[in-house]
Amino acid sequence: MTDEIVYGRNAVWELLQSGKPVNKLLLQGEGTAGRFQDIVSHARAQKIPFQFVDKAALDRLTEKAKHQGILAYVAPREYAEVDDILALAGEKGEDPFILVLDEVEDPHNLGALIRTADAAGVHGVIIPKRRSVSLTATVAKTSAGAVEHVLVARVGNLVQTLKDLQKAGCWVSGAEAEGTEVYRSDLTGARVIVIGSEGKGLSRLVKETCDEIVSLPMKGRINSLNASVAGSILMYEVLRQRGSRN
């Protein structure tokens, strides 16, 4: 399964006008909008990420089709809003349970985390628009269909989103190697779990915004776990604690 792409000026313009979810635009050029000024203006207004690349990159991605210097990556499903996630928790009469991913770049990790989120009763997943993998066909395949059942929101400012969730009554727990052992933490109540990127972990500002830092005990010689593995363990610990308090 390959990620869906749309290319050609008219096709991309119609896609943007349709309101369908677009992950990213690639434009031929060296950093100026030029002949794509109208498309760039629309992308900025809709907060759609875009990047300038050379012709060879577009030739490779489109297998030398007539791309006219523009290509769009299309998401396999609509993105939700953060408010939709909170509303879903309210409809179910449950405290919000949200997974936030800080610059996770591997589509297989995102797909696996969405699959676990569905199984663990997470109300929604939040990802940033930049420096992060988006919803792609690879993510959808790895999720084993869970992407159709889990709300995924994409936000421009992750730190501000966390602050908004805190104002809404959520407690934010970031996962890092050094922190309070998760099995000694109270993870009940309205909860946001934040998982960092595969290589760098939590970014500085995100880490500083968290209400607490929790960690998994590591008894071996390796001091970290794959992002999807760590996230899955934490999600199930939240589920276990919620179940034990019912």
Query: What pLDDT score was predicted for residue 1?
Result: 41
Phi-psi region of 196 (alpha: psi -120 to 50; beta: other; left: phi over 0): beta
Report the CATH number at residue 53: 3.30.1330.30
Identify whether residues 127 and 238 lie together within a single domain. yes
Identify whether residues 179 and 58 lie together within a single domain. no
Other Cβ atoms less than 10 A from the Cβ of 198: the count is 15
Report the CATH number at residue 119: 3.40.1280.10
Q: Each residue of 178-226: pLDDT tens digit?
A: 888 999 999 999 999 999 987 788 999 999 999 999 998 888 766 667 8
Please report, for residues 66, 126, 160, the alpha-carbon distance to residue 85 in angstroms, rounded to integers and kept in the order given: 40, 9, 16
| Domain of residue 64, residue span | 5-74
Q: Each residue of 96-116: pLDDT tens digit?
A: 999 999 989 899 999 999 999
Identify whether residues 133 and 218 lie together within a single domain. yes
| Listed residues 16, 40, 74: the one ending a domain | 74
Residue 245 has pLDDT above 60, yes or no: no
C-alpha 167/C-alpha 213 separation (Å) is 19
Query: What pLDDT score was predicted for residue 104?
Result: 92
Residue 244 has pLDDT above 60, yes or no: no
Identify whether residues 26 and 148 lie together within a single domain. no
Identify whether residues 156 and 206 lie together within a single domain. yes
Of 154, 147, 232, which is closest to residue 193 (Cα–Cα)?
A: 232
Identify whether residues 56 and 152 lie together within a single domain. no
Q: Each residue of 154-172: pLDDT tens digit?
A: 998 999 999 999 999 999 9
Identify whether residues 144 and 232 lie together within a single domain. yes
Mean pLDDT of the chain: 89
The structure's pTM equals 0.81
The count of structural domains within the chain is 2
C-alpha 39/C-alpha 96 separation (Å) is 37
Identify whether residues 122 and 24 lie together within a single domain. no
Identify whether residues 93 and 9 lie together within a single domain. no
Residue 30 has pLDDT above 50, yes or no: yes
Structure tokens, 176: 């890092």
Identify whether residues 141 and 26 lie together within a single domain. no
Other Cβ atoms less than 10 A from the Cβ of 197: the count is 18
Residue 233 has pLDDT above 80, yes or no: yes
Query: What pLDDT score was predicted for residue 222?
Result: 67
Cβ 110 vs Cβ 102: under 8 Å: no
Query: What pLDDT score was predicted for residue 136?
Result: 83
Burial 39-77 (b: 16+ CB within 10 A, else e): bbebbeeeebbbebbeeeebeebbeeeebbbbbbbbbbe
Q: Each residue of 63-95: pLDDT tens digit?
A: 888 888 999 988 878 899 999 999 999 999 999
Identify whether residues 66 and 87 lie together within a single domain. no
| Listed residues 74, 92, 112: the one ending a domain | 74
Residue 46 has pLDDT above 90, yes or no: no
Per DSSP, the three-state class of 229 is helix
Q: Each residue of 129-141: pLDDT tens digit?
A: 888 888 888 888 8
